[in-house]
């Protein structure tokens, strides 16, 4: 075992969906630092260009709600790069009424959100796995959430306009279980499939929410987006070569209570 290269992704081709997002952009940076060539799959070219000015990534347009867009994206990358070694699903599509209270969520909105995110991840995983089978292995990483494992603590939202979408829990819970399914299904092809479940990530939320969240968390603070990147690099690299079907909690101890 070459321990010096344990966390290296040198020579690997990575795809990060939602790579311009709060967490996605930090995962991209982490993979670049580990040596990977990264394709940032996002629907906002201007935002990607503003974030990644070094030219160490390649932008490729993706509408994760479109099967045609997803199939075309992976075909293009496979043709251009010759392989895909790593897929990180970090895209976060949602409807404009995402923040509605449960009583006000329409059935149409519920179906649209599940189809957009859970359906999009399904299509991305399947397309990436087809490429990885040709290369005899790879790593797929899906972004779950603590709220895919435990119920929301609604008391931390009191005094704010914030809430937690019911669709979010359904999507993330389903995604974590789906990840386990894929891990066993693709194991014979040496394709590892894992998920990362972050806790609350600081994004300039209202001060009262941040205070309550920090008091509720054993480590006493919210996560920084870059702290999710380390988990992604671990699961993408050979450091996790015997890890598959796992949901890695990165939550400051939130689910340990």
In a domain, 67, yes or no: yes
Location of structure tokens 């399947």: 126
Could you give phi then psi for residue 38, rounded to 5 degrees? Answer: -115, 130
Q: What is the pLDDT of residue 9?
A: 97
pTM (predicted TM-score): 0.96
In a domain, 4, yes or no: no
Q: How many CA atoms lie within 13 A of 185 on its CB side?
A: 13
Give the residue numbers spanning the domain of 167: 9-256
Q: What is the pLDDT of residue 19?
A: 97
Print pLDDT tens along the chain (257 aa). Answer: 778 789 999 999 999 999 999 999 999 999 999 999 999 999 999 999 999 976 779 999 999 999 999 999 999 999 999 999 999 999 999 999 998 999 999 999 999 999 999 999 999 999 999 999 999 999 999 999 999 999 999 999 999 999 999 999 999 999 999 999 999 999 999 999 999 999 999 999 999 999 999 999 999 999 999 999 999 999 999 999 999 999 999 999 999 98
Query: Domains in the chain: how many in total?
Result: 1
Q: How far is CA 187 from the centre of its chain?
A: 20
Q: Which structure tokens are listed for 253?
A: 């101890």
User: CATH number of the domain that 157 lies in?
Assistant: 3.40.50.720
The pairing of beta strand 37-42 with beta strand 13-17? parallel
In a domain, 128, yes or no: yes
Helix (H, G, I), strand (E, B) or coil at 2: coil
In a domain, 3, yes or no: no
Location of structure tokens 């979010």: 168
Contacts of 56 (CB under 8 A, 6+ apart): 32, 38
In a domain, 169, yes or no: yes
Q: Which residues are catalytic?
A: 168
In a domain, 217, yes or no: yes
Contact predicate 17/91, CB 8 Å: yes
In a domain, 161, yes or no: yes
In a domain, 52, yes or no: yes
């Amino acid at each position: 075992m070459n321990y010096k290269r344990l966390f290296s992704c040198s020579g690997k081709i990575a795809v990060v969906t939602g790579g311009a997002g709060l967490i996605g952009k930090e995962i991209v940076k982490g993979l670049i630092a580990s040596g990977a060539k990264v394709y940032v799959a996002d629907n906002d070219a201007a935002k990607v260009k503003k974030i990644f000015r070094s030219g160490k990534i390649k932008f490729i347009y993706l509408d994760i709600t479109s099967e045609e867009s997803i199939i075309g994206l992976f075909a293009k990358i496979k043709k251009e790069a010759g392989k895909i070694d790593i897929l990180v699903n970090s895209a976060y599509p949602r409807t404009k009424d995402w923040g509605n209270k449960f009583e006000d969520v329409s059935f149409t909105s519920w179906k649209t959100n599940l189809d957009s995110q859970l359906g999009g991840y399904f299509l991305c995983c399947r397309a990436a796995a087809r490429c990885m089978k040709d290369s005899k292995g790879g790593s797929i990483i899906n972004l779950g959430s603590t709220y895919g494992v435990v119920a929301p603590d609604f008391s931390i939202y009191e005094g704010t306009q914030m809430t937690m979408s019911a669709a979010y829990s359904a999507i993330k819970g389903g995604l974590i279980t789906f990840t386990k399914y894929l891990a066993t299904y693709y194991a014979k092809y040496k394709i590892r499939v894992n998920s990362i479940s972050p806790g609350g990530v600081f994004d300039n939320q209202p001060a009262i929410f941040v205070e309550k969240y920090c008091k509720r968390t054993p480590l006493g603070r919210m996560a920084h987006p870059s702290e999710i990147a380390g988990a992604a690099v671990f699961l993408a690299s050979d450091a996790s070569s015997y890890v598959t079907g796992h949901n890695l909690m990165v939550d400051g101890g939130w689910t340990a209570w």
